[in-house]
Amino acid sequence: MPRRRTTGSTGATASESGLDHASGPLAGLSEEALRATVPEPIVGRGARYAAAGAVEAVALRGRVLDAAVQGSEERPYHVTAHRVPRGRSAGALVSACTCPYMEGAASDDQATWCKHVVAALLVALADPQAVARQPPVSALVEPLDRAALVRLQEAVLARAPDLYAIVAEEATRVARVRRR
In this predicted structure, what is the pLDDT of residue 111? 54
Q: Percentage of the chain with pLDDT > 90?
A: 47
Q: Per-residue pLDDT tens for 67-82?
A: 999 998 899 999 999 8
CB-based burial, 13-50: b 16+ in 10 Å, e otherwise: eebebebbeeebbbbbbbeebbbebbeeebbeebbebb
In this predicted structure, what is the pLDDT of residue 180? 76
In this predicted structure, what is the pLDDT of residue 105? 64
- How far is Cα 130 from Cα 122, in angstroms, rounded to an integer? 12
Kindly report the pTM of this predicted structure: 0.73
Q: What is the mean pLDDT of the chain?
A: 82
Which among 42, 69, 39, 41 has a CA at the least distance from the CA of 54? 69
Q: Per-residue pLDDT tens for 83-113?
A: 887 888 778 888 899 999 887 764 454 457 8
94: number of Cβ within 10 Å: 17
